[in-house]
Structure 1
């Protein structure tokens, strides 16, 4: 080997699979799930289709793994700050949610439509992510300073989450004169207002 020739590091199978999933998530950011093919990922990764099938089995398993990774990323990236005023933490989480949807619009829309379209696997991943996003509102506001934990309020939070998702997806598709600051204000202020109507 000559000086200046880069050395290749051999990855473990788990590391390689994780690397391929990360690439799949990046590709999903600006294309739909249907456009995310084994051929595209193989080409982008510089590997054979056969190796991808070795790691994922088939196209559906590959899509499921990529969507699951993307959903995990959504939950992690939208986590509120660990401390501070509950309203400020909610606002920070909603800002991060808007950031995520803006950066990953096509892929996120694919997940939502796939879940609505009857794909049971996508529906399960979607439901898990939605539950993680809504449940943490209660676990991270343990004193109930902002959101009391009751069955009615849990239902309100679930409905608010669906509304927030629709607002953000619609705004990204067509802002219609609404600024991002206005959108984020509606998202962060609407939940406490809905809860107050029930308390």
Structure 2
């Protein structure tokens, strides 16, 4: 019988992320130790710490990988306007939240939720998204600076509202979606034209 094929570092990392995602979905972050994950993955703690020096960095990598799926899930058809593109992305964001509730709770309501290892990669992704949106809206000068601040505030609003709707059940998803788009128009839309075509 041939021996098992040795995993590449990239394959090993993905396997550890798969195991971590499963463990964090079953238990609160406070109840999960790196040793638990190592045992579940069939590796030593030393190997796990080689890839992820802290629990926050480990979860941050899991969360970032899951979050990256949002872009892939956005409808492939080109939106008619910048606003329509944001509307599609928002729907994909809500789909992601609904499909990853346990991870969402860890990322937003746990003891490591504010850790830079958890927040940093996602904040950078949103900064890139902001740039793409404002470029498409042809935002320039002072209007762009105001819109950048407005977009940061809008993202925080979306996160809080999504938790209220999809985790706490305080409103329906449709109500949440409308509220977020209304907030977009009142904040970012007050400084740039979101009705412009998204096509180059």
In the superposition, the TM-score normalised over structure 2's length comes to: 0.72
Q: Does 1:84 align with 2:79?
A: yes
Q: Does 1:111 align with 2:104?
A: no
Distance in 2 (CA, whole Å) between partners of 1:76 and 1:12 is: 23
Distance in 1 (CA, whole Å) between partners of 2:150 and 2:179 is: 16
Higher relative contact order (CA 8 A, sep 6+): 2
Task: Could you tell me which runs of 5 or more consecutive residues in structure 1 were left unpaired when the two chains were aligned.
Answer: none
Q: Could you tell me which residue of structure 2 aligns to residue 28 of structure 1?
A: 24
Q: Could you tell me which residue of structure 2 aligns to residue 159 of structure 1?
A: 153
Which of 63, 74, 80 matches 2:56? 63
Alpha-carbon distance, 1:126 to partner: 4.7
2:38 and 2:45 in contact (8 A); partners too: yes
Change (3 A) 1:25 1:136: farther
Residues paired across the two proteins, number = 185
Runs of 4+ displaced beyond 6 Å: none
Distance in 1 (CA, whole Å) between partners of 2:168 and 2:63 is: 23
Q: Could you tell me which residue of structure 2 aligns to residue 192 of structure 1?
A: 185
Distance in 1 (CA, whole Å) between partners of 2:116 and 2:69 is: 23
Q: Does 1:182 align with 2:183?
A: no
Q: Could you tell me which residue of structure 2 aligns to residue 93 of structure 1?
A: 89
Alpha-carbon distance, 1:16 to partner: 0.8
Alpha-carbon distance, 1:149 to partner: 5.9
Change (3 A) 1:120 1:63: closer
Alpha-carbon distance, 1:24 to partner: 1.8
Give the alignment's Cα RMSD to 1 decimal: 3.1
Q: Does 1:171 align with 2:165?
A: yes
Change (3 A) 1:100 1:13: same
Task: Could you tell me which runs of 5 or more consecutive residues in structure 2 were left unpaired when the two chains were aligned.
Answer: 193-200
Change (3 A) 1:123 1:93: closer
Alpha-carbon distance, 1:179 to partner: 2.0
